[in-house]
A and B are shown apart, each in its own frame.
Chain A
Amino acid sequence: EDKVVQSPLSLVVHEGDTVTLNCSYEVTNFRSLLWYKQEKKAPTFLFMLTSSGIEKKSGRLSSILDKKELFSILNITATQTGDSAIYLCAVEAGGTSYGKLTFGQGTILTVHP
């Protein structure tokens, strides 16, 4: 059974701090790992990672994948209150082309002013 585990489950920081969110996985036939940010409504897509060691960046957010150790991290530098959200990690695995994802539990990030 495919499994995705995120840590920590929740995190409280102050504006300006740097945070690192973790995602480890055990899946058959890994294809890609995705990060989503969920605020009050639906998750929105952040990154898709398929190759080991290549960092994806978008502003203050960055992510990297380690396919040997089966994990990914999401870094947020100089956090702002608007970064408060649930961050979801998902893994696509198997031979299907249907885009079926297995999600982790999510990390609830709270950024205080």
Chain B
Amino acid sequence: DVKVTQSSRYLVKRTGEKVFLECVQDMDHENMFWYRQDPGLGLRLIYFSYDVKMKEKGDIPEGYSVSREKKERFSLILESASTNQTSMYLCASSPTGTYTQYFGPGTRLTVL
């Protein structure tokens, strides 16, 4: 079974703090993704990575950066958290050539 894990289920941070969200997958997938999910807006792609050290912007990259130093790990960074970044963050991975993405359990981030 594919397993995608995220470092925290719930996180509360203050405005201006630097926030790291970690995602690890154990199936040697090339592609990894970060989404945020907000009511009425569905899942929106923030960044994705198709290989180690490779990254591409998704639909809403502003205010975020990512890091992929190892194949199994994809980190989402909020350099200076703001209240409008309060959301559910979902990480996903997929092997190259398929479009079935496997999701982690999500991190509910609240920025006060």
> Taking beta carbons and an 8 Å cutoff, which residues of A are in contact with B?
4, 6, 9, 31-32, 34, 41-45, 48, 88, 90, 92, 97-106
- Asked whether, in the complex, the Cβ of A34 is within 8 Å of the Cβ of B99, the reply is yes
6 further A-B contacts with Cβ under 8 Å, apart from A99-B101, A102-B59, A103-B44, are A42-B90, A44-B103, A99-B94, A99-B96, A101-B99, A106-B43
Taking a contact as CB atoms closer than 8 A, the residue among B35, B43, B106 that contacts A41 in the complex is B106
Q: What's the nearest-Cβ distance from chain B to residue A87, in Å?
A: 11
Q: Are B41 and A105 in contact (CB under 8 A)?
A: yes
Q: Which residues of B contact A (CB under 8 A)?
A: 4, 31, 33, 35, 40-45, 48, 50, 56, 58-59, 90, 94, 96-106
In whole angstroms, what is the CA distance A92 to B98 when docked?
10
Majority secondary structure of chain A interface residues (helix, strand, loop or mixed): strand
- CB-based contact B43/A42 at 8 Å: no
Contact call A9/B40, Cβ cutoff below 8 A: yes
How many whole Å from B87's CB to the nearest CB in chain A?
14
